[in-house]
Amino acid sequence: MKNLRRRFELFCFRNRTKGIPNLMLYLSLGSALVYLMTTFTGNYLLYDLLYFDRELILKGQVWRLITYPLTYDAGSILLTAITLLCYYSLGRAIENQWGTLRFNLYYLSGVLLMDIYSMVFGGWADVSYLNLSLFLAYATMYPDSHFLLFFIIPVKAWIFAVLDLALTLYEVISLSIPYFLFPYNLFPLISIANYLLFFGKDIVNVFPVSWRANARRLLRKKPSQAKKEKVVPFPSAGSYEATTAKPKDLYTHRCAVCGRTDVTNPELEFRYCSKCNGYHCYCQEHIANHTHVE
């Protein structure tokens, strides 16, 4: 699995310019157009042609499988405009970091997973959950960036991400108690399945470095008392035998956060942080996403 993911990252890196550039720009403008036409004219014809409907899709209107992301509606005009602008900014930041191809696969895989789940089990493909995966991806890549709550209070992105994940888990539980509404109770997880699929164990990067260090310290196995008292005798002059140990892979750069090197991941770029105290190397994914060493 690790080798498969490494090959996928290498493939996306080599073809980073392929795909649809500025995908979130087209989606945001399209959503704004549909919303304005629906709101000001009172005509829902365009909206009715694009939203997800399982029965109509089975009758041949297959374009609804990919057009429902254009039916976003946050309620008011101002809130819809702010939300679409936010999603566009998040998408651009992720695309600049990953490349066009990987970002296209990330968003479109979310659309595909929701389509499959909704077509098999029935239900409603909601673009709001899908756009939430953009925020989670950004917060995982840049956990220390700030968002202005009520346009005044600065809050770090990782705090919002943890709250979103907690609310998603709460929705799954609330749909299971007191009645077990399977499979509809799993819909919140399916809507962010692309986030879980692309990041894997890197989801823990959304938490501060100090939290992760404390967790590793608690989970680390302590050596037994017998091992502590083990005495290693020094070999006598006549009993010494030359041993050959397998040399470790020599590398030039090693990321101080994830541990990847220019040998294990030749597709990555490595940089040294000028704000850290000392010489600390970071890969392209963590050069702007780490806690500075003081």
Q: Is residue 69 exposed (0-12), middle (13-18) or buried (19+ Cβ within 10 Å)?
A: buried
Smallest CA-to-CA distance from 38 within 30, 46, 29, 27 is with 46
Among the candidates 176, 206, 236, a domain finishes at 206
Is residue 58 domain-shared with residue 123, that is, in the same domain? yes
> Distances in Å between the alpha carbon of 121 and those of 56, 116, 185?
15, 8, 11
- Phi (first) and psi of residue 216, to 5 degrees: -65, -35
Residue 226 lies in a domain: no
Q: Is residue 141 exposed (0-12), middle (13-18) or buried (19+ Cβ within 10 Å)?
A: buried
Is residue 178 domain-shared with residue 280, that is, in the same domain? no
Is residue 194 domain-shared with residue 256, that is, in the same domain? no
- Mean pLDDT computed over 232-250: 50
pLDDT at 131 over 80: yes
Q: Write down the pLDDT at residue 204.
A: 74
Is residue 279 domain-shared with residue 143, that is, in the same domain? no
Better-predicted residue by pLDDT, 25 or 163: 25
Q: Write down the pLDDT at residue 213.
A: 61
Q: Write down the pLDDT at residue 224.
A: 53
Is residue 117 domain-shared with residue 256, that is, in the same domain? no
- Mean pLDDT computed over 43-47: 84
Residue 214 lies in a domain: no
Is residue 40 domain-shared with residue 172, that is, in the same domain? yes
Is residue 143 domain-shared with residue 274, that is, in the same domain? no
Residue 114 lies in a domain: yes
pLDDT at 234 over 60: no
Cβ 283 vs Cβ 265: under 8 Å: yes
Is residue 187 domain-shared with residue 261, that is, in the same domain? no
Residue 237 lies in a domain: no
Length of the chain: 294
Q: Which two tokens stand for residue 132?
A: 């939430």
Among the candidates 146, 177, 206, a domain finishes at 206
Least confident residue range of 64-68, 241-245, 283-287:
241-245
pLDDT tens readout for residues 163-203: 888 887 887 787 667 666 676 777 778 878 888 888 877 77
Cβ 144 vs Cβ 130: under 8 Å: no
Q: Write down the pLDDT at residue 245.
A: 44
Residue 172 lies in a domain: yes
Residue 244 lies in a domain: no
- Mean pLDDT computed over 263-269: 82
Is residue 202 domain-shared with residue 261, that is, in the same domain? no
Is residue 12 domain-shared with residue 103, that is, in the same domain? yes
Biggest CA-to-CA distance, the chain: 97
Is residue 77 domain-shared with residue 164, that is, in the same domain? yes
Domain span holding position 257: 252-294
pLDDT band at 237 (very low <50, low <70, confident <90, very high): very low
- Mean pLDDT computed over 136-145: 81
Better-predicted residue by pLDDT, 71 or 75: 71
- Phi (first) and psi of residue 65, to 5 degrees: -65, -25
pLDDT tens readout for residues 73-128: 877 888 888 888 888 988 898 898 888 999 999 999 888 988 888 888 877 777 87
Is residue 39 domain-shared with residue 142, that is, in the same domain? yes
pLDDT at 240 over 50: no
Residue 217 lies in a domain: no
Among the candidates 206, 238, 271, a domain finishes at 206
Looking at the whole model, is its pTM more than 0.85?
A: no
Residue 243 lies in a domain: no
Q: Write down the pLDDT at residue 226.
A: 46
Total domain count, the chain: 2
